[in-house]
Amino acid sequence: MKNTNPRILIVDDNTTNRRVLVFSLKKAGYEPLEACSGDEALELAESEKPDLILLDVDMPGMDGFEVCSKLKAISVCAEIPIIFITAKSTASDIERAFEVGGSDYVTKPFHITEVKARVSVHLQLNRTKSELFESHTHLLRAQKLESVGQLAAGVAHEINTPTQFIGMGVGPS
């Protein structure tokens, strides 16, 4: 049986931060996945397709901004909400996070209740967005079927009109 708990990818080079998040999110009913580098995050996100990503900015090698940009360029990852969790708190850092595709921004030291609340909100927003897209797709299909039905009715009418004249033995003079 497949686990239906939302999967959260936690990307942070700090082991303590990851453990706190893993423990708290697991306790809240989520399935946490862990990565300690940008490269590992990209690989896990593409293979595991998490429902949400918690992403640190300051990491060795590739920083979180670059990771986010690369994730948004991968088709299977583009719609995954990304919440930055970082000690960087300047307006330019926050602005950059949103420019590269971040969904939200939490500063360290974080409060786990705030993180869980934001995770919950973004998961619900993403579910609602998916449901809306699915409903829109169904509506478009229904409209296409209605158009085909109207076209078929018009063609049938055009075919039946000359047939009625022939059946009555009357034809145009």
**Domain locations along the chain:** 7-130
Query: Whats the size of the chain, residue-wise?
Result: 173
Can you name the residues that pair with 11 across neighbouring β-strands? 35, 55
On whether the CB atoms of residues 87 and 65 are closer than 8 A, the answer is: no
The closest alpha carbon to 115, from 37, 56, 42, 36, belongs to: 56
Q: What's the CATH number of domain 7-130, 1.20.1250.20, 3.40.50.2300, 3.40.50.300, 1.10.357.10?
A: 3.40.50.2300
Please report the pLDDT score of residue 1 as a whole number. Answer: 45
pLDDT number for residue 132: 76
pLDDT value for 137: 67
Closest Cα to residue 35, out of 51, 52, 13? 13
Q: 129-133, long-range: CB within 8 Å, 24+ apart, which pairs? A: 129/79
Give me the pLDDT at residue 33, please.
Answer: 98
- pLDDT tens for the chain, 173 residues long, are 455 899 999 999 999 999 999 999 999 999 999 999 999 999 999 999 999 999 999 999 999 999 999 999 999 999 999 999 999 999 999 999 999 999 999 999 999 999 999 999 999 998 888 777 676 666 777 677 777 777 777 676 677 766 565 666 655 55
Closest CA to 124 of 26, 32, 52: 52
How far, in Å, CA of 168 to CA of 164, rounded? 6
- pLDDT score for 161: 67
Residue burial 50-79, b: 16+ Cβ < 10 Å; e: rest: bbbbbbbbebeebbbbebbebbbeeeebee
Per the DSSP assignment, residues forming a β-bridge with 33 are 9
Q: pTM of the prediction?
A: 0.76
